[in-house]
């Protein structure tokens, strides 16, 4: 059952993360707080290296952090067992990674349904759902080819099909339209909109693209590991809800 509307899906509080040790330490996230409710579409925007993928990976329980709290769909990551986090990733969250993360020795359909092998879903059912997801992104015909024979945009669509095949409640997307031509990009955005309207799917999308940030109901800007602004727009108007630091704008 989808969570109740207005229920908090993502709650990140004062999260810090650094890489390296001693003098070589680089602070990547410097006290990030973000709350996202069920059914929201949020675009995460910021320059290269600002910490977007790092934050997305932490929210997806794919990376660790140093300080602060992370709670996703009622699961407090600092208290959860790994098995609980794995179940959340497999059953409730869809990921579209910046680098696709497709396995070359498998076919497209096998890549799409790979997460099902960690659940109790029967292989035939998984294949059927996987084919449906591939058809939705226009790749039904290429289902049995390995990703190595596909273009960048086609690989990206396989990655999207894989994220969607298990009907997740939360979609975490890292540049999901970065390699798509404008028509395919539009189709993907339309598809995201449908998932949001019909199934109440919550979307957090890292993007450099204006059409995607326009599609989002809310745009969060991150700069040097700090949330600079957080704007909820309603048909052109925008309400700023900012803990902005300094006056600089993020391009
Ligand atoms: N494993 C790692 N070890 C050391 N530094 C890292 C590591 N992963 C990321 N970083 C650094 O953390 C910072 C943030 O990286 P991140 O991937 O989150 O940026 P981003 O906002 O997603 O950038 P882009 O738009 O280029 O994808 C960068 O300066 C990067 O060099
Ligand atoms: Mg990134």
Indicate the helix (H) or strand (E) that contains 16. Answer: strand 8-19
Question: Which protein residues are within 6 Å of ligand 1, measured from CB?
Answer: 19, 26, 28, 46, 48-54, 98
pLDDT at 245: 43
Report DSSP state, residue 42: E
Q: How confident is the model at residue 2 (pLDDT cuts 50, 70, 90)?
A: low
pLDDT at 228: 97
> Is residue 3's pLDDT more than 60?
no
For 185-238, what is each residue's pLDDT tens digit?
Answer: 888 898 899 999 999 999 999 999 889 999 999 999 999 999 999 999 754 444
Radius of gyration of the chain (CA): 18
**Who contacts 39 (Cβ-Cβ below 8 Å, separation ≥6)?**
5, 196, 200, 201, 202
Which of 4-8, 50-54, 77-81, 226-230 bottoms out in mean pLDDT, i.e. has the lowest? 4-8
Q: Are 161 and 136 in contact (CB under 8 A)?
A: yes
Nearest CA to ligand 1 atom 18: 51
Q: Whose atoms come closest to the Cα of 55: which ligand?
A: 1
The CATH H-level superfamily of 39-64+90-239 is P-loop containing nucleotide triphosphate hydrolases (3.40.50.300)
Phi/psi of residue 103, nearest 5 degrees: -90, 125
- pTM (predicted TM-score): 0.88
Residue 123, sorted as left (phi over 0), alpha (psi -120 to 50) or beta, turns out to be alpha
Domain boundaries in the chain? 39-64+90-239
- Helical spans, DSSP H, in the chain: 52-59, 82-91, 108-113, 123-136, 152-164, 182-199, 210-215
């Amino acid at each position: 059952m989808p969570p109740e509307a207005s229920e908090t899906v993502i709650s990140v509080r004062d999260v810090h993360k650094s890489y390296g040790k001693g003098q070589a330490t680089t602070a990547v996230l410097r006290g990030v707080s973000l709350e996202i409710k069920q059914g929201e579409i949020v675009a995460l925007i910021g320059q290269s290296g600002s910490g977007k993928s790092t934050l997305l990976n932490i929210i997806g329980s794919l990376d660790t952090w140093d300080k602060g709290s992370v709670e996703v769909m009622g699961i407090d990551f600092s208290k959860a067992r790994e098995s609980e986090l794995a179940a959340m990733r497999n059953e409730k969250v869809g990921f579209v990674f910046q680098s696709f993360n497709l396995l070359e020795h498998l076919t497209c359909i096998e890549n799409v349904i790979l997460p099902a092998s960690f659940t109790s879903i029967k292989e035939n059912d998984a294949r059927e759902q996987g084919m449906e997801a591939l058809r939705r992104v226009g790749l039904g015909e290429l289902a049995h080819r390995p990703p190595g024979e596909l273009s960048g945009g086609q690989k990206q669509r396989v990655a999207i099909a894989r994220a969607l095949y298990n009907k997740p409640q939360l979609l975490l997307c890292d540049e999901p339209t970065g390699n798509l031509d404008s028509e395919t990009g539009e189709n993907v955005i339309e598809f995201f909109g449908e998932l949001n309207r019909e199934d109440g799917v919550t979307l957090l999308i890292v993007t450099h693209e204006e059409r995607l940030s326009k599609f989002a109901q809310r745009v969060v800007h991150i700069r040097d590991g700090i949330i600079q602004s957080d704007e909820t727009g309603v048909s052109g108007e925008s309400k700023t809800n900012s803990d902005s630091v300094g006056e600089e704008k993020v391009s």
